[in-house]
Amino acid sequence: MNKLVSIIVPCYNQAHFLDEALQSVLNQTYTNWECIIVNDGSPDDTKNVAEKWCEKDNRFKYLEKENGGLSSARNAGIKISEGEYILPLDADDIIDKSYLEKLVPELNRDTSLAIVSCYSKFFIKNTENIVKELKPKGSTYHFLLYVNQLVATSLFRKSCWEEVGGYDENMKTGFEDWEFWLAITKKGWTYKIIEEFLFFYRKAKKSMLVDTINNYFEDNKEYIFRKHKELYIEDFDNCMKVLFYHIKTHRTSEMKIKNSLAYKLSKLITKPFNFLKKP
């Protein structure tokens, strides 16, 4: 069955990468797709770049909206999509030319599958410069409770998006895809990993993921835990092990810093200044 796939490409300040992402879409050996480029109120050249691709191939479509964040942009694109299957693709990432050809048949064959993903390579500047490989595992929500096994660019059924009410637009600082996968799989749906490197993630010094890990990691994880608390209550013993492991790891790290020579020297150097501050 040659199902229509809707590829959703949100773009905010990434017009300089957009050509590479869209070229990887055009290169697909599976040809029954539409690609909706969502301009999320971007102040850069996103509109001009997108319109060029719409002129090149009528399977590319353009949607412009006020800035609302990644979840909002994805939801807006999916709302106007016509495909039975959805593939989110960030504007700075790349998919292998056989991505759809290899993943679409999995959803066609197994009606219990909601999501199909694959192995990923992280690159800097170009796909020849690979700095990390990701090999996710599992098939049910149990594997997603404490680590997000699925990259955002995973293929899923539009009906599942409808079933859970889309991406959570309250999550504006990352991990929205993790929460989305949990929302789907906790309803009994499963996912499958294709053990091939078909997705290329652009690793940058400044990115939403870097910002999330540095500034919002704990807050976003707490939000997920609370929103899906029934899953963590069900897995209470293991949940406690994980949480206290992180507490212990953090404490050990703090102790190492405090016992380091550099820390002791800095305390010694700043001590006279602390003395002067006293009334």
Digit-coded pLDDT (tens) for 190-214: 999 999 999 999 997 655 555 555 6
Average pLDDT of the chain to the nearest whole number: 90
- With cut-offs at 50, 70 and 90, classify the pLDDT of residue 243: confident
Whether the per-residue pLDDT at 252 is higher than 80: the answer is no
- pLDDT band of 217, cuts 50, 70, 90: confident
Give tens-digit pLDDT for 42-84. 999 999 999 999 999 999 999 999 999 999 999 999 999 999 9
pLDDT of res. 1? 67
Q: Is the pLDDT of residue 259 over 80?
A: no
- pTM to 2 decimals? 0.87
How sure is the predictor about 242, in pLDDT bands with cuts at 50, 70 and 90?
Answer: confident
Give the tens place of pLDDT for each residue, 4-37: 999 999 999 999 999 999 999 999 999 999 999 9
pLDDT at 261: 58
pLDDT band at 254, cuts 50/70/90? Answer: low
pLDDT of residue 207: 53
- b/e map 5-34, b = 16+ CB within 10 Å: bbbbbbbbebbebbebbbebbeebebeebb
pLDDT at residue number 21: 98
Between 100 and 249, where is the model more confident? 100
Residue 233 pLDDT level (bands cut at 50, 70, 90): very high
Give the pLDDT confidence of 134-180 residue by residue, as tens digits: 999 999 999 999 999 999 999 999 999 999 999 999 999 999 999 99
- Over residues 214-228, mean pLDDT: 89
pLDDT of residue 205: 60
Q: Is the pLDDT of residue 276 over 60?
A: no
In Å, the largest CA–CA distance within the chain is: 79
What 159-167 contacts at long range (C-beta under 8 Å, 24+ apart), as own/partner pairs, is: 159/84, 160/114, 160/115, 160/184, 160/189, 161/78, 161/86, 163/187, 166/71, 166/74, 166/75, 166/78, 167/70, 167/71, 167/72, 167/74, 167/75
Per-residue pLDDT at 216: 78
Q: What is the pLDDT of residue 168?
A: 98
